[in-house]
Each structure stands twice: as C-alpha cells, then as structure tokens.
Amino acid sequence: MDSFKEDGKTDYVDERGTQPADDYDLDYEDPRVKQIKRKVDLRLSLILALMYIVNQIDRTNLGNAAVAGMDVDLNLIGNRYTIIVVVFFPFYILFNPVATVCARKLGPRPFLAAIT
C-alpha cells in the first residue's frame, strides 16, 4: 500500500509490512543483509581464489621451464638460473600492482595490446 507524504515522496510499505532500505538503517543481523553479504563473499572469494591460482601458475612457469629443459637449451650452467630468478622476481613483484592499475585505467584491450 502506498501513501503519499506532504512533500510528494512515497512512503512505501510492501505486503510483508517492511519499508525499503533507504527509509531505515539496516541492521547487520537482518537476514536480508546476511544473505547479501554471503553472496558477495562467495563471489569475491571465488574470483580471488581464481586470481591467486593464475598468479601462482604464472610465477612457477620459470621453474617448470627449467625442469623441462630450458636450462640446457639456453646453456644455463652454474648459478645463471639463480641470477635470472633474482633479477626477474623483484621486478615482477614491483610492477605487478602498477600493471593492475594500468589495466583498470586503460581497459583490457589496449593494455594487453601494449604489453605484448
């Protein structure tokens, strides 16, 4: 049932007798708030888990390549592989957040075109 106030705004009450969220403060114990938080947490957790897995795969590719024979192909004898790792990972860690910000600002299409 709708009722109009003097200022022209609608004071809406649905069939359950509740008002919209902007008419009162939602309590964190409200079942609707808990349901929304659960959905958001589930979606964010899945996305972040997927991103973490992809990140781990990306970081372990160098080790996998060495095991697969890259060190023989590139003639990495002695500590040359260690030097590559020591040089690669600090820059990877340093520029990963910068690349994330650039990807968000530019969008995926121009960002991926620029880095490849």
| Average pLDDT over every residue of 14-37 | 68
Chain mean pLDDT for the chain: 77
Q: How far apart are CA 20 and CA 58, in angstroms?
A: 46
Report which DSSP code applies to 23.
Answer: G
What percent of the chain stands above pLDDT 70?
A: 74
pLDDT in tens, 24-35: 566 767 888 888
Distance, first Cα to last Cα, the chain: 59
If one compares 18 and 86, the residue with the highest pLDDT of the two is: 86
What is residue 10's three-state secondary structure? strand
pLDDT of residue 7: 54
Cα–Cα distance, 42 to 19 (Å, whole number): 27
3-state secondary structure 28-80: CCCHHHHHHHHHHHHHHHHHHHHHHHHHHHHHHHHHHHHHHHHHHHCCCCCCH
User: Residue 1: CB partners within 8 Å, gap ≥ 6?
Assistant: 13
pTM beyond 0.75: the answer is no
Range in 49-53, 55-59, 90-94 the model is least confident about: 55-59
- 62 neighbors 88 (Cβ within 8 angstroms): yes
